[in-house]
Amino acid sequence: MIRCYYRFRVPASINFLSTPNHCPQCGFSLSLTTCAQLAQEQVNYVAPTPDLDAHIGARFLQNCIISGDLASGKTLHCQIVKKGGGLDLFGWNILLNLYVKSELLSDARHLFDEMPSRNTVSFVTLIQGFSELFLHTDSIKLLLRLHREGHELNAFVFTTILKLLVNMECAESATNVHGPIYKLGHQSNAFVGTALLDAYSSCGLVHMAREVFNSISHKDMVSWTGMITCYAENNHFKEAFKMFSQMRILGFNPNNFTLASMFKACLGLEAIEVGKSLHSCAIKTCYEIDPFVSVSLLDLYTKSADITDARLVFDEIPKKDVIPWSFMIARYSQSDRCEEAVRLFCRMIKGPAVPNQFTFASILQSCATMENLKLGKQIHSHVKKVGLDLNIYVSNALMDVYAKCGSIVDSVKLFTESKNKNEVSWNTLIVGYVDYGNWDMALTLFFDMLKDQIQLTEVTYSSVLRACASLTVLESGIQGIPCMVSVKKL
C-alpha cells in the first residue's frame, strides 16, 4: 500500500502542449497564459547581448526554476536563439531542466537535439523527465544513446536506470545492472545503493536488498528508511522493528516515510499499542498531517476496528487529496456504517478533492448494502459524466447495486457492456441470479465460466450449490462438484 501511494502518478497524455501556439522568435510552444505572461515580461526585460555572461544567465535560469517562472526563462531562451551566445553547457543544462520541470517534454527534446554539446547531465535530465511521465520507451532510447556515445556512467545514471526499472515494473532486471554498479565501484554510494535496494524490495528480493544495504559505506536517513520500508512492504515486520531500533540508537530521527512503514509493521504484528506510541511520535515531529503518515494511521486504526480514532485522525489532516477521503469512505462501507459513508461522500464532492474509481466503488458498496437504488442511480450518472463507468471496479460495484436492489436487467446490461470482465463480474451476476430466484441462469453462467476458463472462487461454489439445492437438480450438482474439488483450497 505504502509503495503504491509513493509512486502513483497520473500517466502523461501524448500531447504535452495545451495549445498549438508558438513563440515567433524561437518556435517553442506556449500556452495562452504563458503568452500573456511572456508579453508582460518582455516589457521590463533587458535583452542580453551576444557576450552575456554565462554565469549570470545560468543563475537567472536557476532562479526561474525555483520560482516556477517559465515565462522569463523562455524570454531569455528566445533572446539567445535570436542573438546567439550567452550560455555554456552548464547553462544549457539548466534551461533543459526548466522545460523538463515544466513538463514541456516536446520542447525539452527540441532543445536537447539543438544544444551545441551534451554531457551525462543533459541525458539524465531528459531521461528523468520522460520517466516521471511514464514515457519509458523514450527513456530507454536515450539511455542506449548515452552509452553508445561514450558518456560517463556515474552514480546519477545508475540511479536513474534503477528508478526507471521500478517505474516500468521490471525491477527484477536490477540484477543485470548490479554487476556494472559493483564493477565501477558505485555500490557503496548511498544514492545508488538506496535505489538498488528499492528495486530489489519492489520485486521481493529482501535478502539482496539487505546485502546492498550492508555494502553502503555511509548510510543516511534515506538508506535506513529504504531498508525499513523494504521489510514492511514484504511482510518482514519483526525485522522492520529491529532495523528501526538500530536506526534510533544511531541517532537518526524518523521521517514521514519511516513512520508510514512502521505503522504498516505495527498493523502486521497487530501491535496496535505500539502503533499508538508511534502516533505520539508523529504528533511531536509534526508528521501527523503528512499524507503518507495520515493514510497509514487511517489504515492502522480502521483495520484494528477502531474507526472512531480513525475518524479523529481524518478530521485533523488536510483533505485536498482524494486518498484520505477514499480510505475513510471505504472503511465505513466495509464496516456496514453506510450512512456515514454516504454523508462523507456528499461532503467530499463539495470540496476540492475529486472522487476516483476507488471512491466510487466504495460508495456504491454502501448503496448495495443499503439497497438504495435511487442513490445508486444518481452515482451511476455521476460516474458516466466523469468517464469511469467502464472501469472494472466501478462497473462491478454498479452491477452489485442493481443486483442487490432487484434490478437484475440493469445488472445484466452492465455485464454485457463490460469489456474487461473478471471473476468478480461473473460472481456478482451469478449471486444476483440466485438471489433473484433465476437459478437456471445462475447455472448457465457457471458453466460459461468453466468454458471460458474463468477463475472460480468460494463465492462461485457457494452460489452454484445454492442454485442446485434450490432446483433440487442433483445432476447439475454432481457435474459441478468435480470442477470444484479439483481447485486448490476448496
Q: pLDDT, tens digit, for every residue of 70-109?
A: 888 787 777 777 766 667 888 888 888 888 888 888 888 8
Q: How far apart are CA 27 and CA 81, in angstroms?
A: 10
pLDDT at 381: 93
Residue 306 has pLDDT above 60, yes or no: yes
Cβ atoms of 70 and 30 closer than 8 Å = no
pLDDT at 201: 92
Grid cell in block for residue 228: 525499513
Q: How far apart are CA 458 and CA 456, in angstroms?
A: 7
> Residue 472's pLDDT band (boundaries 50, 70, 90)?
low
Grid cell in block for residue 83: 542573438
- Classify 22 as helix, strand or coil: strand
Strand locations in 209-253, DSSP E?
A: none
Residue 358 has pLDDT above 90, yes or no: yes
Alpha helices in 29-104 (DSSP H): 32-44, 54-67, 70-83, 89-101
Q: 414 Cβ partners below 8 Å, 6+ apart? A: 395, 398, 399, 402
Q: Is the pTM here over 0.85, yes or no? A: no
Q: How far apart are CA 200 and CA 174, in angstroms?
A: 7
Per-residue pLDDT of 233-278, as tens digits, reads: 999 999 999 999 999 999 999 999 999 999 999 999 999 899 999 9
In this prediction, residues 125-142 reach a mean pLDDT of 84
Q: Measured between alpha carbons, how far is residue 283 from residues 260, 276, 294 in Å?
A: 13, 11, 11
Residue 352 has pLDDT above 70, yes or no: yes
- Classify 230 as helix, strand or coil: helix
For the chain, the structural domain boundaries read: 19-117, 337-417, 421-490
pLDDT at 344: 94
Residue 42 has pLDDT above 60, yes or no: no
Q: How far apart are CA 179 and CA 166, in angstroms?
A: 17
Residue 314 has pLDDT above 60, yes or no: yes
For residue 22, report the phi and psi dihedrals to the nearest 5 degrees.
-135, 150
Of 79-88, 105-114, 216-225, 443-452, give the range with the top mean pLDDT: 216-225
Q: How many CB atoms lie within 10 A of CB 315?
A: 9
Q: Measured between alpha carbons, how far is residue 124 from residues 8, 87, 143, 349, 468 in Å?
A: 22, 19, 8, 40, 63
Closest CA to 369 of 336, 346, 411, 408: 336
Cα dihedral 329, 333, 337, 339 in deg (nearest 10): 70
Q: How far apart are CA 153 and CA 171, in angstroms?
A: 19
Residue 335 has pLDDT above 50, yes or no: yes
